[in-house]
């Protein structure tokens, strides 16, 4: 028996030695324990040195190990396999993986338990290092997230703080520009305005950049007409190209899909950034913008090519990094923040595409980007006439025959009956003669005409009693506020800037006829606009005195009367006192802010509770629009407020009054 056991043990020893494990053998009846030489060596003892195993278990592990063994020999657990720390002779702990099996007699009493020890200290150390690293990473990630969050909150606040005074600056320059100024003053004013606009665009860039970085940029999805989109986008920067004598073209490829679905505003932002750069870095030649289907998967490829200074190979990767420009001297020469391309590339990748550049220094560059779009439907045409135009009679007065033909074509195209005259005298004669027959519903006249210009012609028309209300729309090739204002005083519905765009023309024509056929009523209203009846009475709730002034002046100029409230509470009180057509409501105000005021108004009784409310806000972070709508407001204007945008917004929400 002894012999057999010894032989068995020898075999075990051999097997264990082979995989470098130590062996232990516990006689459960006598309580004797045998430890192999390797077992002892593992914790720094010689083969003949006695070792008190139990005393060497790490205090934190001891109970767990005892319980585990007890449970196993009591057959409450299927196996004994534990990792724990054992104190070596030198006092250091080693990590041990212990495994063992037991033998029981028929009555279930344990007789013997035999097992192995493997040294797993190195593995444990590696695991621990990994755990610490993961923890550190998680902490760093948390810190970074917190920092990003506070950064974007900081940016939102900063943007608000900077936008508010900028609103004053840009708004005031616009208003000052309409007053009489010497050429030198006008030039100074222009500089202030351009600087203000530049500052605004930097703020917008920084905000965009942080929004994309913090993952808060949300894409919209709408159907749009890609052909018109391209035409419109290019027309926005056409003036700056022409001012430098650069040809700017955007030929439409017949293969380019017409109606697509995507975030038109973001695509435009990228396209305008590239086109703007192309114009900026080109002094002669041309800039060409193209859109093509990019092979598979409803991908579009946009290309902006220029014949400008080009970009050296070494800089072609770098320029897409934030705040980087090809070399710092270009900054001084051309200005810019070096953020444009970084934002553009981020936007493009959000839209499922890529961006790149090919370039030959001195010859030019071609920037390209791809984006994924869905096939779209024809969007509901907003510029189609809201007023039935077919069959209406229009008189066109223009000395330029090409222009006359163009107008005739456009107006015929929508079913109007067109008569043309080549100068003011002929036009007036036709108009007077027409009275005997059907008469005209509308006059479309050019401002620049020899002998009798558009203003003179309008005066002559208005001089006739029967034409006092005849709808008139004027066309002009120069943006001249003075003439436009004079025309407006004479009751010209709109002065359109050439080159004419179909949508703008139709909107003006139908708007003019709509307004002309339903005369506005001025009954019982405060009227600051002299002889002109007010287009509507507005309540302006805004705490900042500069903005009160800017916005007020804009309202007055656009033909509206208004009252000012300095916070939400005052606004509600004003609403209780009087009747308004619309409430312009600043979101950030002391005492009662815009959101609270909007909610308070909706809970009031009476028809006023449904009056249109347009939010004014300097906070352009995503979600602001939703916050406004949630609070019961109808629309939203971002500061700085521009007269054109404010005007459009008011036209949208203030109903044209019908005679009782
Ligand atoms: P910004 O134009 O505001 O400086 P961008 O990120 O738009 O910033 O451009 C970064 C740099 O890339 C520019 O400063 C310029 O050096 C270079 N670059 C961009 N577009 C062109 C181009 N069409 N031709 C030559 N260089 C360009």
Residue at 457 is within a domain: yes
Task: Tell me the mean pLDDT in the region 155-177.
Answer: 75
Q: How far is the CA of 85 from the centre of ligand 1 (A)?
A: 62
**pLDDT at 538 > cutoff 70:** yes
Verify that 238 and 367 share a domain, yes or no.
yes
23-51 per-position pLDDT tens digit: 999 999 999 999 999 999 999 999 999 99
Decide if 648 contacts 554 (C-beta within 8 A). no
Q: Please tell me the predicted confidence (pLDDT) of residue 289.
A: 92
**Domain ends where: 349, 375, 401?**
375
Verify that 283 and 409 share a domain, yes or no.
no
Q: How far is the CA of 163 from the centre of ligand 1 (A)?
A: 26
Alpha-carbon span 501 to 506, nearest angstrom:
9
Comparing C-alpha atoms, which of 309, 232, 238 is closest to residue 276?
Answer: 238
Q: Which residues pair with 161 in a beta bridge?
A: none
Q: What percent of the chain has pLDDT over 90?
A: 33
Our measurement of the distance from residue 480's CA atom to the centroid of its chain's CA atoms, rounded to an integer in Å, reads 33
Q: Please tell me the predicted confidence (pLDDT) of residue 382.
A: 44
| Cβ(338) – ligand 1 distance below 6 Å | yes
70 falls in which pLDDT band (50, 70, 90)?
very high
Q: Please tell me the predicted confidence (pLDDT) of residue 387.
A: 57
Alpha-carbon span 264 to 232, nearest angstrom:
12
**Beta strands in 470-525, from DSSP E residues, in sequence order:** 472-476, 492-497
Q: Which helix (H) or strand (E) holds 347?
A: helix 340-350
Alpha-carbon span 264 to 187, nearest angstrom:
35
Q: Please tell me the predicted confidence (pLDDT) of residue 121.
A: 93
| Cβ(325) – ligand 1 distance below 6 Å | yes
Q: Please tell me the predicted confidence (pLDDT) of residue 519.
A: 37
Q: Which two tokens stand for residue 550?
A: 């800017």
Verify that 235 and 371 share a domain, yes or no.
yes
For ligand 1, atom 20, name the residue with the nearest CA.
Answer: 277
C-alpha distances (whole Å) from 111 to each of 16, 29, 105 are 22, 6, 7
Lowest mean pLDDT among 97-106, 548-557, 592-601: 548-557
> Average pLDDT of the chain?
82
Lowest mean pLDDT among 89-103, 280-294, 369-383, 623-637: 369-383
Verify that 482 and 369 share a domain, yes or no.
no
Verify that 407 and 371 share a domain, yes or no.
no
Comparing C-alpha atoms, which of 473, 487, 512, 498 is closest to residue 402?
Answer: 498
Q: Please tell me the predicted confidence (pLDDT) of residue 621.
A: 66
Verify that 337 and 414 share a domain, yes or no.
no
Residue positions counted in the chain: 660
299-341 per-position pLDDT tens digit: 899 999 999 999 999 888 888 887 666 655 554 455 566 788 9
**pLDDT at 75 > cutoff 80:** yes
pTM, entire model = 0.45
| Cβ(341) – ligand 1 distance below 6 Å | yes
- Highest mean pLDDT pick, 66-75, 329-338, 483-492, 610-619: 66-75
Alpha-carbon span 268 to 224, nearest angstrom:
12
Comparing C-alpha atoms, which of 562, 561, 558 is closest to residue 643?
Answer: 558
In ligand 1, the atom with minimum distance to the C-alpha of 308 is 24
**Beta strands in 168-250, from DSSP E residues, in sequence order:** 222-225, 247-249
Comparing C-alpha atoms, which of 83, 78, 77 is closest to residue 64?
Answer: 83
Q: Which helix (H) or strand (E) holds 7?
A: helix 2-18
Residue, of 593 and 533, whose pLDDT is higher: 593
Verify that 400 and 477 share a domain, yes or no.
yes
**pLDDT at 74 > cutoff 80:** yes
Q: Please tell me the predicted confidence (pLDDT) of residue 391.
A: 83
494 falls in which pLDDT band (50, 70, 90)?
confident
Q: Please tell me the predicted confidence (pLDDT) of residue 126.
A: 92
150 falls in which pLDDT band (50, 70, 90)?
confident
Q: Which two tokens stand for residue 207?
A: 């905000």
CATH number (domain holding residue 296):
3.30.565.10
Number of domains in the chain: 4
For ligand 1, atom 3, name the residue with the nearest CA.
Answer: 336
Alpha-carbon span 227 to 479, nearest angstrom:
26
Decide if 248 contacts 241 (C-beta within 8 A). yes
What is residue 247's DSSP assignment? Answer: E
522 falls in which pLDDT band (50, 70, 90)?
very low
**Domain ends where: 489, 515, 541?**
515
CATH number (domain holding residue 100):
3.30.450.20
| Cβ(277) – ligand 1 distance below 6 Å | yes
**pLDDT at 644 > cutoff 90:** no
Lowest mean pLDDT among 106-120, 359-373, 386-400, 584-598: 386-400
- Highest mean pLDDT pick, 100-104, 374-378, 637-641: 100-104
For ligand 1, atom 22, name the residue with the nearest CA.
Answer: 278
| Cβ(306) – ligand 1 distance below 6 Å | yes
- 């000012």: which residue's tokens? 564
Verify that 321 and 422 share a domain, yes or no.
no
Lowest mean pLDDT among 78-82, 85-89, 554-558: 554-558
400-454 per-position pLDDT tens digit: 887 788 788 778 877 889 999 999 999 999 998 888 888 899 999 998 888 889 9
Our measurement of the distance from residue 418's CA atom to the centroid of its chain's CA atoms, rounded to an integer in Å, reads 44
Verify that 354 and 310 share a domain, yes or no.
yes
In ligand 1, the atom with minimum distance to the C-alpha of 273 is 7
CATH number (domain holding residue 405):
3.40.50.2300
Q: Please tell me the predicted confidence (pLDDT) of residue 72.
A: 95
| Cβ(441) – ligand 1 distance below 6 Å | no
Residue, of 554 and 354, whose pLDDT is higher: 354
604-631 per-position pLDDT tens digit: 776 667 788 999 987 766 677 888 888 8
Residue, of 154 and 138, whose pLDDT is higher: 138
Alpha-carbon span 195 to 169, nearest angstrom:
10
223-258 per-position pLDDT tens digit: 888 888 887 788 778 778 888 888 888 877 777 888
Residue at 520 is within a domain: no
Residue at 200 is within a domain: no
**pLDDT at 648 > cutoff 60:** yes
Q: How far is the CA of 333 from the centre of ligand 1 (A)?
A: 12
For ligand 1, atom 7, name the residue with the nearest CA.
Answer: 340
Verify that 484 and 584 share a domain, yes or no.
no
With the most atoms of ligand 1 within 8 angstroms of its CB, the residue from 340, 347, 360, 363 to mutate is 340
With the most atoms of ligand 1 within 8 angstroms of its CB, the residue from 201, 305, 338, 366 to mutate is 338
Residue at 528 is within a domain: no
Q: Please tell me the predicted confidence (pLDDT) of residue 221.
A: 86
The verdict on whether omega for the bond into residue 314 sits within 30 degrees of 0, i.e. cis, is no
Q: How far is the CA of 373 from the centre of ligand 1 (A)?
A: 26
Residue at 38 is within a domain: yes
| Cβ(308) – ligand 1 distance below 6 Å | yes
Verify that 227 and 370 share a domain, yes or no.
yes
Decide if 567 contacts 590 (C-beta within 8 A). yes
Domain range for 564 = 533-658
Residue, of 388 and 270, whose pLDDT is higher: 270
Lowest mean pLDDT among 76-80, 162-166, 184-188, 542-546: 162-166
| Cβ(246) – ligand 1 distance below 6 Å | no
Residue at 398 is within a domain: yes
Verify that 308 and 345 share a domain, yes or no.
yes
Residue at 127 is within a domain: no
Q: Please tell me the predicted confidence (pLDDT) of residue 521.
A: 34
Our measurement of the distance from residue 193's CA atom to the centroid of its chain's CA atoms, rounded to an integer in Å, reads 24
| Cβ(326) – ligand 1 distance below 6 Å | yes
**Domain ends where: 515, 547, 567?**
515
168-184 per-position pLDDT tens digit: 787 778 778 778 888 88
| Cβ(307) – ligand 1 distance below 6 Å | no
**pLDDT at 386 > cutoff 60:** no
Cβ neighbours of 286 (radius 10 Å): 16
Q: Which residues pair with 374 in a beta bridge?
A: 261
With the most atoms of ligand 1 within 8 angstroms of its CB, the residue from 246, 281, 346 to mutate is 281
C-alpha distances (whole Å) from 108 to each of 66, 73, 105, 215, 574 are 19, 9, 5, 64, 93
| Cβ(205) – ligand 1 distance below 6 Å | no
For ligand 1, atom 2, name the residue with the nearest CA.
Answer: 336
| Cβ(275) – ligand 1 distance below 6 Å | no
| Cβ(281) – ligand 1 distance below 6 Å | yes
Residue at 140 is within a domain: no
């Amino acid at each position: 028996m002894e012999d057999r056991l010894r032989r068995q043990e020898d075999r075990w020893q051999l097997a264990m030695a082979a995989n470098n494990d130590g062996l232990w053998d516990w006689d459960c009846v006598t309580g004797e324990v045998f430890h192999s030489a390797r077992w002892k060596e593992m914790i720094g003892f010689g083969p003949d040195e006695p070792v008190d195993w139990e005393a060497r278990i790490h205090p934190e592990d001891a109970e767990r190990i005892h319980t585990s063994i007890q449970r196993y020999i009591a057959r409450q657990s299927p196996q004994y396999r534990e990792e724990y720390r054992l104190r070596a002779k030198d006092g250091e702990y080693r990590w041990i993986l212990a495994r063992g099996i037991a033998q029981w007699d028929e009555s279930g009493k344990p007789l013997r338990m035999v097992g192995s020890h493997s040294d797993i200290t190195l593995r444990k150390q590696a695991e621990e290092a990994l755990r610490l690293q993961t923890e550190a990473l998680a902490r760093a990630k948390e810190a970074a997230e917190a920092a990003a969050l506070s950064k974007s909150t900081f940016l939102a606040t900063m943007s608000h703080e900077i936008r508010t005074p900028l609103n004053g600056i840009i708004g005031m320059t616009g208003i000052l520009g309409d007053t009489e100024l010497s050429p030198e003053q006008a030039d100074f004013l222009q500089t202030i305005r351009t600087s203000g606009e530049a500052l605004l665009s930097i703020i917008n860039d920084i905000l965009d950049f942080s929004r994309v970085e913090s993952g808060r940029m949300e894409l919209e999805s709408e159907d749009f007409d890609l052909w018109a989109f391209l035409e419109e986008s290019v027309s926005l920067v056409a003036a700056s190209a022409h001012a430098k004598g650069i040809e700017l073209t955007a030929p439409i490829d017949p293969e380019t899909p017409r109606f697509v679905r995507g975030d038109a505003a973001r695509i435009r932002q990228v396209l305008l950034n590239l086109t703007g750069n192309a114009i900026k870095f080109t002094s002669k030649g041309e800039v060409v913008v193209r859109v093509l289907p990019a092979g598979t998967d409803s991908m579009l490829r946009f290309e902006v090519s220029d014949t400008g200074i080009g970009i050296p190979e070494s800089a072609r990767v770098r320029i897409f990094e934030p705040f980087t420009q090809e070399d710092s001297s270009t900054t001084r020469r051309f200005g810019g923040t070096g953020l444009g391309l970084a934002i553009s590339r981020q936007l493009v990748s959000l839209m499922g595409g890529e961006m790149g550049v090919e370039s030959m220094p001195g010859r030019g560059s071609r920037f390209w980007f791809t984006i994924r779009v869905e096939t779209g439907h024809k969007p509901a045409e907003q510029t189609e006439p809201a007023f039935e135009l077919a069959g209406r009679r229009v008189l066109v007065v223009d000395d330029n025959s090409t222009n006359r033909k163009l107008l005739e074509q456009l107006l015929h195209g929508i079913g109007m009956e067109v008569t043309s005259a080549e100068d003011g005298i002929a036009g007036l004669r036709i108009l007077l003669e027409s009275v005997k027959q059907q008469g005209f519903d509308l006059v479309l006249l050019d401002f620049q005409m020899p002998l009798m210009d558009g203003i003179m012609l309008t005066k002559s028309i208005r001089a006739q009693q029967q034409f006092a209300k005849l709808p008139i729309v004027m066309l002009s090739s120069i943006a001249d506020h003075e003439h436009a204002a004079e025309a407006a005083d004479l009751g010209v519905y709109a002065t359109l800037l050439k080159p004419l765009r179909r949508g703008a023309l139709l909107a003006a024509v139908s708007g003019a006829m709509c307004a002309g056929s339903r005369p506005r009523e001025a009954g019982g209203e405060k009227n600051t606009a002299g002889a002109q009846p007010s287009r509507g009475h507005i309540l302006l709730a805004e705490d900042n005195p500069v903005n009160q002034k800017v916005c007020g002046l804009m309202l007055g100029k656009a033909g509206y009367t208004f009252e000012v409230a300095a916070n939400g509470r005052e606004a509600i009180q004003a609403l209780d006192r009087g009747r308004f057509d619309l409430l312009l409501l600043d979101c950030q105000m002391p005492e009662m802010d815009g959101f609270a005021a909007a909610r308070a108004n909706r809970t009031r009784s009476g028809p006023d509770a449904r009056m249109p409310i347009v939010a004014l806000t300097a906070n352009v972070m995503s979600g602001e629009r939703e916050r406004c709508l949630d609070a019961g407001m109808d629309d939203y204007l971002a500061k700085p407020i521009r007269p054109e945008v404010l005007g459009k917004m008011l036209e949208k929400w203030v109903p044209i009054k019908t005679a009782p």
